[in-house]
Amino acid sequence: MKEINLKKKNSFLEKLLIKINRYFGFEIINNSNYDMTSLNKNSNQNPSVLGEKSITIPMGSLKITRQVKSIDIIFRSCSSVLMLSQTKKRIFNEDKAEYSIRSLNSLVNSINSSSNLFKKINLRLTIIDHNSTKEVLDKYNKILSNQFYETSIETLEFDKYKSFIKSENEKNEIVTDAQKSNMSNIHQSIEKSKNANDLVYFVEDDYIHQKNSLEEMIYSYEKFSTILNSELFLCPIDYPYLYFSPENTKVILGNYSHWRKIDQTLCTFLTSSKMIKKHLETLLKMCKKEHFPFEKPLHEIFKTETCLSPIPSLAIHATNINSIYGISPGVNIKKLWDDSKYD
């Protein structure tokens, strides 16, 4: 990264220096005000250019060789079940519908706060819903109305997908109807993802997103896949459990956030259609038999593929306050919850 102190009145010289420095692979930063002169951006704007270069000050510029072309967001909704496998109340003690609505609203807010990003890549948001009330579905439709991208709400084909599920789980116990609904929704989501052209983001309906979540994940995916020369998985959550076992890890710089290598996550994650096709049979194991932990097949994939999570978290999992898979540390949870409210 080359640092040059420019004066505004020297416009001709400025343009000449920009051309010369760009020829040699440098960008110009004005030392007096931190403006990125060669990019025509100020210090509050993202210096990276989607599909072209990832810029981290003062680390420099990375030419992107793996461009993101599109993203399919698949939002799994079941607003009628408060907690899948616990009897404890969620943080803020609301009905499940409130978490579902706020999760969707926060996701849409994250998309809209980065609307310029989606002028370059295609975006499609699909909700797969099971047993939500008309009131909830009406709110979903209002949230999705008049958006600049393709949206749809599909009903879970429960009878179709539950037929794939073994009646007994790994503990030789009967699988509950709520778990069958969850497994069926994952199954239908994976089937839906087969039509995706590039990235796929699977989202559960109790994850409240920061406004910069989607932007950070997409820019970072381009950067990481370029560096690694391979596809990967991104989890948007800095789960508490990651701090309970002092294991060695690797930390890597994303677009703005730090990310670390992990080997476990839940079923909210971003990856590519190539990765889904590569590990399709393993992913479908989660939909056919209840494992302990439930995501065991997914964790098997992480033994050979890279999965990264951000520090601090780009979203919170709004479950019970004491859950090690719940509220992320270092996040203003109350503000995030309040900002996600849909009136």
Number of folded domains in the chain?
Answer: 2
173 and 255 both lie in a single domain = yes
pLDDT of 22 reads 60
110 and 37 both lie in a single domain = no
- Alpha-carbon distance 329 to 343, whole Å? 28
Q: What is the mean pLDDT of residues 289-312?
A: 97
170 and 39 both lie in a single domain = no
pTM above 0.75, yes or no: yes
pLDDT band at 179 (very low <50, low <70, confident <90, very high): very high
Q: Cα separations (Å) of 148 from 71, 112, 140, 252?
A: 14, 9, 16, 33
CB 144 within 8 Å of CB 151: yes
pLDDT of 224 reads 98
17 and 130 both lie in a single domain = no
First and final C-alpha spacing in the chain: 46
153 and 6 both lie in a single domain = no
Domain of residue 256, residue span:
70-339
Does residue 106 form part of some domain? Answer: yes
299 and 234 both lie in a single domain = yes
- The verdict on whether omega for the bond into residue 297 sits within 30 degrees of 0, i.e. cis, is no
Q: Under 8 Å CB-to-CB from 70, ≥6 apart: which residues?
A: 121, 122, 123, 124, 196, 197, 198, 199
pLDDT band at 27 (very low <50, low <70, confident <90, very high): low
21 and 80 both lie in a single domain = no
11 and 129 both lie in a single domain = no
Q: What is the mean pLDDT of residues 312-324?
A: 94
